[in-house]
Amino acid sequence: MYHLASGFYEMLTKKDEFNILILGLDDAGKSTFLETAKMKFTKGYKGMNLKFITTTVGLNIGEINISGVKLSFWDLGGQKELQSLWDKYYDESHGVIYVIDSNDRDRMNESKELFDRMIKNEYLSGVPLLILANKQDIVDCMGVREIKPVFQQHGHLIGRRDCLTIPTSGLTGDGVEEAIKWLTDAVKRNGILRPPKNMT
């Protein structure tokens, strides 16, 4: 009887789970964004000092429960030697966050080329895309009006998927809540085409 009751409870409380990739060049602020998101959406989570976050080598994982679903984040290292591993995660992802360092004008073209290679992959076809113009706390950084046209030059590759470009600062938290809430709604809407993990 206990097993039946616990199984029924688990079925009622089980949440749909969506896998979210966080991509972008190294030092774009991916891990800082994720840590800030966890602090904002996870009750009682203290988090680490954002100033001590270092470049991710390999994979950084995080989870957030929001709006009745669980978001599992895979923050992938952005160094050149790690970029070739990204596509191993594409077919299991439900959404992509692409993080841009708005203050790094010297590497903007490099980031754009990486973005184009990523968005062309067939396994990401139709997957919701959130583009973050990050590090907006830095004076004289590039704004969304400058960045958005650069990354939407190949709009046909983005296609009809849900797509949003917003300004953020992982360090101050500006734009983080809006970003996570938008992406949550987007992956839930897209669940018909790419169902969450616990659905068969």
Annotated binding site: 24-31, 56, 78, 134-137
* In the chain, beta strands by DSSP E: 16-23, 59-66, 69-76, 95-101, 129-134, 163-167
Task: Return the amino acid letter for 127.
Answer: V
Beta strand pairing call for 59-66 and 69-76: antiparallel
Establish whether 83 is a catalytic residue: no
Considering 79, 83, 152, 153, which one is annotated as catalytic? 79
Query: CA–CA separation, 141 vs 153, rounded Å?
Result: 21
Query: Around 73, how many Cα atoms within 13 Å sit in the side-chain half-sphere?
Result: 25
Binding-site entries for GTP: 24-31, 78, 134-137
Catalytic residues: 79
